[in-house]
Structure 1
Amino acid sequence: MLLERAGSDDDAFASLYQEHAPMARRIANGIVQDAHAAEDLVQEAFYLVLRNIRRGKGPTDSFSGYVASTVRRLAYRYSARQGRIVTIEDATTWERPSGSVMTLMPGGERITTAWASLPHRWRTILWLIEVDLFTPAELAAGMSMTPSAVSSLATRARRALRTAYASVPQTEKLS
């Protein structure tokens, strides 16, 4: 049986690859819808399967099911990452206008003034976490930081915004 020999015989594993790779590609393409990414995921899946077989932890009877499960897991993980990746190379990308909507709200001028007084980095992190609802873990890689450092940055930015808002004189009269 090919599967039993695949751990020590490269030709046996190559035969399994040739037989099951088209199915793995169809699964990956159906999830990620990017042929190049799908091919990379198929290659990674077969690498992981071979590594597990050589460690004695791989499939013992249903090779195609094991490969399909591995490809699906990798493709869903890839898709989740792609959908929430944030790159922050161009700082102007994250600038948000503080237009007239804020000034029409009660306290809007204070909010706008407090927001504008914050450093750009703090405005960016607050917007990404509080408005766009990214988690620190999702932002960490794009910011070249750990999730814990992103969380700390957000905490400092929230405190600074609170302090800035409290220090802006209240000019609007309550009716």
Structure 2
Amino acid sequence: MIAGDDRTLLDAVRTGSTEAFGELYSRHRMAAHTMAKQVVGTHSDAEDLVAEAFVKILDVLRRGGGPDSAFRAYLLTTVRNLAMTLNNRDRRVLLAAELDGFYRPDNYVPFIDPAVLKQERELVAKAFARLPRRWRHVLWCMEVEEETTAEMSHRLGISRNSAAALVYRARKGFREAYSQVCAGEPTRRRLAAPGQLLAEVA
């Protein structure tokens, strides 16, 4: 067993240490499996998902990429993204939101990893910051202040149909920006300071 924190192990993996990666696997496999069980339908699918996530990360690390720290957050995000890919490909995956509708005993507490929650907020903030100012304003009013389309149209001095179309475009743009951030694509617009605001609300 190799001693040291995750950062030390990650550096060792990049220099070719399989033992260091084995230690990372031992430390974080159970957390990854817990996440996987929430986003796929069967135990075997969860095992496959975890294995694929570790293989993918090992390949990234050997090519000099991947995280410098916060390995668990990176791992769980990889598990989630692979599950989404499977779901889009063959519809065999049940996402966590869908599972909640089938399984809600009184003692059930959903697994929420603080590291993943923090990273999710950061991703949301980055995606929000990529949007044009007008779209950020619209999303903030609709999603945070919970205004109606009628209130939005009055605020902007436009028709309800125009306001509805604007809200649609802003939401679509935000989804696309979020996908780009998750995929690690470069920023297409200059980041704006208000992006941090959404992270505090999410």
TM-score range, shorter chain: 0.3 to 0.5
Q: TM-score, normalised by structure 1?
A: 0.46
